């Protein structure tokens, strides 16, 4: 199993550009989520999904969009990038409660918005 994979690893955008961060998992997990990690702020939840076709907002959803058309993939879209979205983005997945309950994290995407 590859676990949770994310692409790209690094990205530089200009203010106003849009892009999609890709996330995929091969563990047949129902639950997937996106976090951003900023110095001194810890990891904060952006959006999450409890299954294909079902998504919901987390703590800091503004400026981001998600969809979940398959169990495996959970892309994160930046609609119009802003310097405040400069951060490291992590995707995570988890099986049903009782299956170890751990969330597996991807390696991250480091995004810089100029």
Partner 1 sequence: EDQVTQSPEALRLQEGESSSLNCSYTVSGLRGLFWYRQDPGKGPEFLFTLYSAGEEKEKERLKATLTKKESFLHITAPKPEDSATYLCAVQAAASYGKLTFGQGTILTVHP
Kindly state the DSSP code that residue 85 receives in the 8-state scheme: G
The reply to whether 12 sits near partner 1 by the rule CB under 8 A is no
The reply to whether 86 sits near partner 1 by the rule CB under 8 A is no
- Could you say which of 8, 15, 41, 70 contacts partner 1 (CB under 8 A)? 41
The reply to whether 33 sits near partner 1 by the rule CB under 8 A is yes
User: In Å, what is the CA distance from 65 to each residue of 27, 73, 82?
Assistant: 23, 14, 14
Choose between 14 and 42: whose C-beta lies nearer to partner 1.
42
Structure-block tokens of residue 1 = 């199993």
CB atoms within 10 A of CB 72: 17
Choose between 17 and 22: whose C-beta lies nearer to partner 1.
22
Choose between 85 and 89: whose C-beta lies nearer to partner 1.
89
CA Rg, the chain, in Å? 13
State how far Cα 81 lies from the chain centre.
15
Q: Where does this chain bind partner 1 (CB under 8 A)?
A: 4, 31, 33, 35, 40-45, 48, 50, 58, 90, 92, 94, 97, 100-108
């Amino acid at each position: 199993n590859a676990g949770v994979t994310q692409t790209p690893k690094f990205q530089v955008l200009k203010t106003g550009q849009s892009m999609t961060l890709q996330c995929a998992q091969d563990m047949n997990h129902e639950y997937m989520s996106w976090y951003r990690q900023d110095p001194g702020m810890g990891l904060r939840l952006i959006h999450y999904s409890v299954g294909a076709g079902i998504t919901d907002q987390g703590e800091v959803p503004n400026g981001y969009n998600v969809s979940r058309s398959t169990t495996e993939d959970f892309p994160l879209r930046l609609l119009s990038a802003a310097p405040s979205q400069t951060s490291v983005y992590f995707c995570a997945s988890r099986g049903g409660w009782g299956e170890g309950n751990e969330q597996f994290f991807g390696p991250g995407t480091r995004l810089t918005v100029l």
